[in-house]
Amino acid sequence: MKLGGVLLDLDGVVYVGEQAVPGAVEALDWLRSEGIAHRFVTNTSSRPRQSLCDKLSAFGIDTPPAQIISPPVVAAQWLSEHADGGPAALFVPRATEAEFAAVPVWDGDTSRAVASVVLGDLGLAWDFARLNLAFELLMQTGAPTLLALGMTRYWRATDGLRLDTGPFVAALEYATGRQAIVTGKPEKTFFLSGAEALGVRPTELLMVGDDICADIDGARQAGLKTMQVRSGKFQPSDLRRGIKPDAVVDSLADLPRWWREHVQN
C-alpha cells in the first residue's frame, strides 16, 4: 500500500476524555521522527483549536493550531465566502465563538434577520428553548442557511456516551425540510481539505478514527484509506455495519507496526 500522509481523529484516538490513549504519544513521536506528514482532524466544536493544543500539550504533544483542521474554522471560511455579509447566529459554546471573529455575528435581536444558523456541540446547554430558537431563525423570510459543524451521532465521555451535534441538526432538518451544509466529518470536502493541506493525494492518505460512520465511511467516500481503532466509541457491532476499513487495530499505538508491515517504502 502506498501512503504519503495520515489524518488522525483526536477524541477516541489520541485521547479519551482527559486521558491519553496508552501508546498514542509514542505513536505520534514516531510519525514525527519518520517525517510522515500528518494533521489532526476533529469534529470537536465545543472548544477552539488553541484549547485543543493546550490539551495535547498536557499529554506531551506539542502541536500548533494550524495542524488541527476543525469544523468551526471551515465554517468561518464558508461564511466569509458565501454569507454576503449577513450575520450568523451561533449555537456553539462561547469559547468556540473565537473562531468566528472574522465574520459578522447575530446579536440576539429576534427582530433582526440572520443569514445563517451555525450548530455545534452545546452539550448540556441544549434545551427546548434553545433548539426552538434555532428553528425560528431558520424559518425567517429568506430561508437562512443551516451550517452543521459535523454530523457525529455521539461521543464517549468518561462517564459514558453523549449525544453530539448530528441529532440536533437532524431535528432541525426534519422540522424545516431543508438540508444542512456540513463543515465537518463525514462531509467529503472536510477530508479533502486535509489532503490539500498535506499536499497528498486522497488515495495515498490514511484516516485513523474510532467512529465507523463519521471517520471511516466518510473518509472512504472521499477516496482515502482508513484505519479503525478499537478505542473511544468503537463497538464490535460497528464492524458488522457493512463499512469495511482497510485496517482494524486495537489503538493508535499499533500504527507504527502496521505501517512498517503494510506501507511501501
CA angle 42, 181, 14 (to 5 degrees): 5
Residues 6+ apart with CB under 8 A from 234: 12, 210, 212, 228
Q: Per-residue pLDDT for 86 more than 90?
A: no
In whole angstroms, what separates CA 264 from the centre of its chain?
Answer: 29
Distance CA(60)–CA(123), nearest Å, equals: 27
Distance CA(59)–CA(154), nearest Å, equals: 24
44-to-38, 63, 79, 121, 226 alpha-carbon distances in Å: 18, 16, 19, 7, 20
At 144-185, the pLDDT tens digits run 999 999 888 888 887 888 999 999 999 999 999 999 999 989
CATH topology of domain 84-181: Rossmann fold (3.40.50)
Distance CA(111)–CA(96), nearest Å, equals: 25
The strand pair at 15-16 and 19-20 is best described as antiparallel
Other beta carbons within 10 angstroms of residue 197's beta carbon come to 16
Number of helices (H), then strands (E), belonging to the chain: the values are 8, 14
Q: Is 87 in contact with 107 (CB distance < 8 Å)?
A: yes
At 109-125, the pLDDT tens digits run 988 899 999 999 998 99
The reported pLDDT for the residue numbered 231 is: 96
Question: What global pTM score does this model have?
Answer: 0.81
**Cell numbers given for 144:** 437562512
The reported pLDDT for the residue numbered 203 is: 97
The reported pLDDT for the residue numbered 155 is: 83
Where are the chain's structural domains? 5-43+185-262, 84-181
- Cross-strand bridge partners of residue 161: 156
Q: Do domains 5-43+185-262 and 84-181 have the same CATH topology?
A: yes
Distance CA(105)–CA(103), nearest Å, equals: 6
At 207-241, the pLDDT tens digits run 999 999 999 999 999 999 999 999 999 999 999 99
Q: Is 14 in contact with 20 (CB distance < 8 Å)?
A: yes
The reported pLDDT for the residue numbered 265 is: 63
pLDDT band at 47 (very low <50, low <70, confident <90, very high): confident
**Cell numbers given for 197:** 493541506
CATH topology of domain 5-43+185-262: Rossmann fold (3.40.50)
